Structure 1
Amino acid sequence: MSTNDARRSGYWSRSSRSQTDERRKAFRLLVEVLAVADERRRERFCSGGCGHWWHNLPVADG
């Protein structure tokens, strides 16, 4: 496929769109992994209660 053919077929716009989608998926996965790690850390190190201010942050719905 030549560059001109690729431009006409919309190849680059689809490629760019799929890269954006993949970045979104990767970011969401990262957030989920960090949430699981934080939950496990809290169970292990803060199960008896502690005074860390960040344990009382509001949870966003979504």
Structure 2
Amino acid sequence: MEYPLEIPTKYIIVTGGVLSGLGKGIAAASIAHLLSSKLKIVPIKCDGYLNVDPGTMNPFEH
């Protein structure tokens, strides 16, 4: 049984402020769509706040 060559994992990180959340989502989805023709894409959302719920914060506190 032959196994395909294993491609090393690579990451594309899209960052920005809370007010540009829609733009980040559209950009990340567009990049994933372009890459998905030959690659396996797994989106991961990460909020970089320790012990704070960013959904309840004032956008100008970030």
User: TM class, shorter-chain normalised?
Assistant: 0.3 to 0.5
Higher RCO (C-alpha 8 Å, min separation 6) = 2
TM-score w.r.t. the length of structure 2 is 0.33
Larger Rg: 1
TM-score w.r.t. the length of structure 1 is 0.33
More helix by share: 1
